[in-house]
Chain A
Amino acid sequence: MPNVADNTTVPAVEARDIAAGKGSDPAFSALSFRIEPGSFTALVGPNGAGKTTLFESILGLIAPHSGELRVLGDKPCRMRRQTAYVPQAAGIAHDDALIGREFVCAACNAHRLGVALPRARRRAREAVNAALDTVGARDLAERRLSTLSGGQRQRLLIAQALVEQPRLILLDEPLSQLDPAARDWIVTVARRLTERGIAVIFSTHDINPVLGACDRVLYLAQGRGRIGSVDEIICERTLSELYATPMRVIRDSGRRFVFEGGQSRALAEAG
């Protein structure tokens, strides 16, 4: 396997001038960025800007039309075992019958055929406990999923993504439909993952909940993308370039709000 020795220097994701989309029309083009191991990147943009397309490209589920995309130094489809995707909690509805521990455990060695032998089962139990501790969900281990809130389910989803010790985690709108306290929890958990060297890409339509946690912002709009610090990206100059129309950014008590052209129509809450 390439690049095992230099985990810390190989970028988690490196895109050079990529264009990608589901049909023949690319959702974005000429996109270049680099995501370092252990960094927290907020992926922001309006609906339809290509956030999902970018995730699918990184997961190797769709191939970019052009340009070069490398994940952990290799082709995306060859790094799937070290990349974890966390879908939205609303997407899991078939599992009310099981407890949290069983749900998290389902990801253990899931690509292997046959049933787990006792030794593998012991190792899996340890991995599940460690993952539950990381997301602060040990108390959910014995509770049925049907009794959990959206935020609690989201934490179990992240724990499930952790059991195979990925080096890159893609979180797909993990804050949608959560109350503010649950949002803070999820952002804190995601930040904690970066301390272990895991690169986190966190898609969100609202930048405000992750302002204090993210290292960089990757903003997609109008088929274009920019990456940089919060101040470099969520500013009038960059956003006006991205949207190709004058944009206004208003700061209020640590939050940022984005408007089109100085008029009162909000595009999204800073998104």
Chain B
Amino acid sequence: MPEFLQFAFMRHAFAATTVIALMGALVGYFVVLRRQAFASHALSNIGFAGAAGASLIGADPMLGLLAFVIGAALVMALAGREMGERDISVGMILMFSLGLGALFINLYSANANAAIGILFGSVFGIDADQIRWIIVVSLVLLGALAAIFRPLRFASLNPEAARARGIPVRAIDTLFLLLVGAAAAVAVPVIGSLLSFAIFIGPAAAAQAWCPRVGAGLVLTAGLALTQSLGGLVLSYYANLPASSCIGALSFGCYALSRLTRRLA
């Protein structure tokens, strides 16, 4: 066993990161395919306000996070459908939530460290109970994604034809946003709400630049996400740097490389 796995906190971090990286990246593949990166980032940030609000009233921050993210996903699904309008309504919902988050933090001045943990992740603080929770939710989300895979793929690539074929495109859109919201919520302890792009967008965007097929692209996305996330943990352990900084840097490096090689190709 490598030296860093002798510690329980490292084993927990590895287990949680493995599950979150796989689940987050596979959900993220469709986020990138559907050009909903901004909505996914916003949902992840909105969770911060929910967690801060839950702390304020003495509830579990995870529940507050989930409640806010799912509420925001529903509002986004009902709001603007047009591409340009969609970005504006998502941004306004994000802004309003961050304002609430600032208010909650201001009222709950006792512990600013908790807020830092939500914003930037606290992967080395995850305990066995949280891991069980993360695994169960991730499996449910992956199951849901697999269940709607074919209608989601058609509705993402050609929504008008899908609607004409009788596929409930609006319901699929809403379901997918809820899925993204729940995935973002469960990933917060690992990567933090500000750095969700590292897992949700980076690997999928790099994979789509390199691989133009859905099946192989999903496999490559999962592989990249695992390599970057676990590599980030190991790097963080040896270099004594924050884990999310290392994962984020690797994700950025990989994405930059994918753009560069596509440009040269």
The complex places the Cα of A73 from the Cα of B162 at a distance, in Å, of 22
**Which stretch, A9-17, A95-103, A202-210, A256-264, touches the partner chain B?**
A95-103
Q: Could you tell me if B164 and A107 are in contact, using CB atoms closer than 8 angstroms?
A: no
Q: Could you tell me if A84 and B150 are in contact, using CB atoms closer than 8 angstroms?
A: no
The complex places the Cα of A106 from the Cα of B215 at a distance, in Å, of 12
Q: Could you tell me if B158 and A92 are in contact, using CB atoms closer than 8 angstroms?
A: yes
Q: A102-135 vs B: 1/0 string, CB under 8 Å?
A: 1101111111111110000000000000000000
Q: Output the nearest chain B residue to A98 by Cβ-Cβ distance.
A: B212
**Which stretch, A20-28, A75-83, A192-200, touches the partner chain B?**
A75-83
Q: B204-238 vs A: 1/0 string, CB under 8 Å?
A: 00001100111001000000000000000000000
Which residues in B have their C-beta under 8 angstroms from that of A112?
A: 150-151
Interface size class of A (residues with CB under 8 A): 35 or more
Q: Taking A92-B157, A160-B158 as contacts, is the C-beta distance between A113 and B150 under 8 angstroms?
A: yes
Q: Could you tell me if A98 and B213 are in contact, using CB atoms closer than 8 angstroms?
A: yes
A86 CB-CB contact with B under 8 Å: yes
Q: Could you tell me if A111 and B212 are in contact, using CB atoms closer than 8 angstroms?
A: no
The complex places the Cα of A160 from the Cα of B160 at a distance, in Å, of 12
B241 CB-CB contact with A under 8 Å: no
The complex places the Cα of A125 from the Cα of B146 at a distance, in Å, of 20
Q: Of the candidates B32, B34, B148, B153, which one forms a contact with A106 in the assembled complex, judged by CB atoms under 8 Å apart?
A: B153
B96 CB-CB contact with A under 8 Å: no
Q: Of the candidates B34, B149, B161, B167, which one forms a contact with A94 in the assembled complex, judged by CB atoms under 8 Å apart?
A: B34
B171 CB-CB contact with A under 8 Å: no
Which residues in A have their C-beta under 8 angstroms from that of B166?
A: 60, 77, 80-81, 111
A144 CB-CB contact with B under 8 Å: yes
Interface centre among B32, B153, B163, B208 (most CB of A within 10 A): B153
Q: Could you tell me if A98 and B157 are in contact, using CB atoms closer than 8 angstroms?
A: yes
The complex places the Cα of A97 from the Cα of B209 at a distance, in Å, of 7
B137 CB-CB contact with A under 8 Å: no
B74 CB-CB contact with A under 8 Å: no
A59 CB-CB contact with B under 8 Å: yes
A175 CB-CB contact with B under 8 Å: no
Q: Output the nearest chain B residue to A146 by Cβ-Cβ distance.
A: B212
A219 CB-CB contact with B under 8 Å: no
Q: Could you tell me if B146 and A115 are in contact, using CB atoms closer than 8 angstroms?
A: yes
The complex places the Cα of A60 from the Cα of B164 at a distance, in Å, of 8
Q: Taking A77-B166, A86-B161, A87-B160 as contacts, is the C-beta distance between A97 and B148 under 8 angstroms?
A: no
- B residues contacting A by CB (< 8 A) are 32-35, 146-151, 153-158, 160-167, 208-209, 212-214, 217
Not counting A60-B166, A107-B154, A115-B150, a sample of 10 additional A-B residue pairs whose C-beta atoms are within 8 angstroms of each other reads: A81-B166, A91-B160, A92-B157, A97-B33, A98-B33, A103-B158, A109-B150, A110-B154, A114-B150, A157-B158
